[in-house]
Amino acid sequence: MTAQEVIAGKDAGLRAALVSCGEALALEPAIAALGEELLEENPFFSAPALLPALEAYGDDKTRLACVWLGARLIALWPVEKRRFYARLPYRYWATWTHPHCYYGAPLIARGFEEEAFKELFALLGDGEEARCFVRLGRIERDGPVYKAALAAAKAKKRLAYEAGAISRAALQGGASVETTLAVHVRKKKRKELQRLRNRLNELGDIAVREATPTDDIAAWTEEFLILEDKGWKGKKGTSLKSSERDADWFRNTLRRAHEADALHFMRLDIDFRPIAMLATLMEGGVGYSLKICHDPAFDRFSPGVMIEIEAMRSLLAREGFRFADSCAAPDHSMINGLWRARRVVTGLNVSGRGLGSKAGLALAKALEGARDRFPKE
């Protein structure tokens, strides 16, 4: 069954199917419709970010696990087949991500989570391979997708357990800008940043800008690529500009997100030249930090911290803002010193209904437990 046939509503009813990267573009209208009422927002898997990512990083192992109710798409989960888990030769389906994707919650239509996960687990975990299981990666432990997936697994007596949790900085909405800054940024730090800002003002005209619908987003994107390449990533050959594929992915993602009003893009300028820039993907009232960069020539002024604080001000002032995920490493000292809330992102392993799958996953769980109790020196 092709993606076009599914959209046309043939074989109406509840059904699941795996769709290849090559057919993903045909799903764009259905993905856009799904995004209008989600159980949990994930801008990395919305159409503006997902389609450029599949084009840049998807391969013949990448699939979109889709669940349809009649002609309506009610679930979308990018997945890939893997061959080893916990050093065991298990073939399993896991959330597909790419090097710049920091959250992995599937897109599930609100109110259809039971039907969606029932079909997804049956499609991916109850195949011909007796020991196959599925892994939802990079989902929030306290989030609605995690809770719905766990409930669906228990309802069908599947074995399920959590593995791979990390905690990273987050920004919670609901309070005023100044109240939040007072809590998150110590008074001494605020005074020091104001002193640095005053010194920076002596070098030229300082301005904070946020991209608007009429801004030339292509020009902003090229300035970001050049600015990031000036820093340590450029020296190590890991900047976006160092790779044609990465740079094209970034251009396409920001262009599409900007067109969909799903991009929060800020810059700190001196004499109309950026010294720090920050791009965040938005979906509904939530944001996920995508990329940040600054000019190393201005390191002594802490431009990265300045742009983060300006982004805090902007996000907290947005109507309907709920939270932002830093998408940073757990030990990221800069953002941890600014964003005091924490978000636990983890994985959920779910077995098939067969005894072989349950036994295999139980063994994997035991091995992971032993590894955590007796880590290598």
Same domain, 153 and 231: no
CA 269 to chain centre: 28
Question: Residue 209: is its pLDDT beyond 80?
Answer: yes
How confident is the model at residue 356, as a pLDDT?
87
Question: Residue 318: is its pLDDT beyond 60?
Answer: yes
| Segment (H or E) for 171 | strand 160-172
Same domain, 203 and 69: no
Alpha-carbon distance 336 to 330, whole Å?
8
Question: Residue 354: is its pLDDT beyond 60?
Answer: yes
Q: What is the pLDDT of residues 271-283, one digit of tens each?
A: 999 999 999 999 9
Mean pLDDT of 355-361: 89
pTM to 2 decimal places: 0.93
Q: Is residue 334 part of a domain?
A: no
Question: Residue 236: is its pLDDT beyond 60?
Answer: yes
How confident is the model at residue 3, as a pLDDT?
43
Same domain, 138 and 15: yes
Cα 166-362-97 angle, rounded to 5 deg: 40
Question: Residue 248: is its pLDDT beyond 60?
Answer: yes
Mean pLDDT of 118-135: 85
Question: Residue 376: is its pLDDT beyond 70?
Answer: no
Average pLDDT, the chain: 92
Same domain, 135 and 11: yes
Instruction: Report the CATH number that the domain containing residue 297 is assigned in CATH.
Output: 3.40.630.30
Same domain, 12 and 158: yes
Output the 3-class SS for 63-127: EEEEEEECCEEEEEEEEEEECCECCECCCEEEECCCCCCCCCCCEEECCCHHHHHHHHHHHHHCC
Q: Give the range of the structural domain holding residue 317, as residue numbers without chain letter.
A: 174-321
Q: Is residue 31 part of a domain?
A: yes
The pLDDT confidence band at residue 88, using thresholds 50, 70 and 90, is confident
How confident is the model at residue 121, as a pLDDT?
96
Same domain, 160 and 48: yes
Q: Torsion angle of alpha carbons 351, 354, 358, 359, nearest 10°?
A: -150
Same domain, 162 and 179: no
How confident is the model at residue 114, as a pLDDT?
96
Residues facing 281 on adjacent strands: 263, 288
How confident is the model at residue 35, as a pLDDT?
93
Instruction: Report the CATH number that the domain containing residue 77 is assigned in CATH.
Output: 3.40.630
